[in-house]
Amino acid sequence: MEKLKSTLPNMFLSLMITCSASGIILAGASLYTSGPIAISKAAALEKAIKDVTPEFDNNPLEDSYKGVTADGDSLLIYPATKDGLPVGVAVDSYTKNGFSGEIKIIVGFDTEGTLVNYSVLQHAETPGLGSKMELWFRTDKNKQSVIGRSLANGNLSVTKDGGDVDAITASTITSRAFLNAVNRAYSAYKGTDSTTGATIKKGDNDE
C-alpha cells in the first residue's frame, strides 16, 4: 500500500481516525464498567441504610421519597418498615459548610425521632482533625455521642453555641457542619427547623 504523503489534509484525516477510534474505545469501556459501578454504589447505599436504621424487611431503596427541609431544600428519605409497620428512616443529607467544603452523611431515625446511627459518606475535611467525625459523634465519652439523642425537642448544636454536644477538638467548624447536616436530615423527616442556630465562623482559630 502506498504511504500517505505528509500533507495537511492527510494529517487531519489521520487525526480524525485516531480520535474516532479512541472515542469508540472509551465509550465501550464506559459502557462495560458503568453497570458494575452502579451495582457497587447501590450495594454500598443499601449497607449504609442497614447500618443506620432499626431492623426492617422492606426495600427502602424502592420505597424512597423526597422530604422538604425548612429551608426549602429536598433530601432523599429511605423508609424502613417491618411487617408492614414503620420502624424508622434513613435520610441522605449534606452540608456545604464544612471546613473543606461539602460533607455528605446518611442519618437514621426511629419513629420517635431518636437518632439511631449515622454514616459519613463523603468529605474532604482535614485528616486527623475534622475527619474524626466518622467516629467522634458515636463515641460514648463526655457529651460527644449523638447516638440515642432525640431531635424531637430541638436541634443539636455544639457547647460553644449553647448546645450540649462536644465539638471535635480543634475542629469546631467541622462539628457545626456535621450537626447542621444531622439537623437538616431530621428537618426533612419531620418538617422541623433545619438550622443549628449557629453561624459557621471561618474566623475561628481551628478547623
Q: How do beta strands 74-82 and 85-98 pair? A: antiparallel
Give how far the C-alpha of residue 173 lies from the chain's centroid of Cα atoms, to the nearest Å: 17
119-129 pLDDT, tens digit per residue, is 999 999 999 99
Given a cut of 90, whether residue 188 has pLDDT beyond it is yes
Is the pLDDT score of 26 beyond 90? Answer: no
Phi-psi map region of 198: left, alpha, beta (phi>0 left; psi -120 to 50 alpha): beta
Edge-to-edge strand ranges of the sheet holding 65-68? 65-68, 74-82, 85-98, 101-110, 115-122
Is the pLDDT at 198 greater than 60? The verdict is no
Reported as a single tens digit per residue, the pLDDT across 41-89 is: 778 899 999 999 999 999 999 999 999 998 899 999 999 999 999 999 9
Q: What is the mean pLDDT of the chain?
A: 85
pLDDT at residue 190 in the model: 87
pLDDT given at position 15: 65
Q: How confident is the model at residue 13 (pLDDT cuts 50, 70, 90)?
A: low
CB count within 10 Å of CB 79 equals 18
Distance between CA atoms of residues 178 and 165, nearest Å: 11
Residue 104 pairs with which residues in a beta bridge? Answer: 94, 122
- pLDDT at position 22 over 80: no
pLDDT of 170 over the 80 cut: yes
Provide φ and ψ at 137, rounded to 5°.
-80, 5
Q: How many CB atoms lie within 10 A of CB 175?
A: 31
Contact call for residues 137 and 161 (beta carbons, < 8 A)? no
pLDDT > 90? residue 201: no
Looking at residues 155-166, what average pLDDT do you find?
96
Q: What is the model's pLDDT at position 19? A: 66
For the entire predicted model, the pTM comes to 0.77
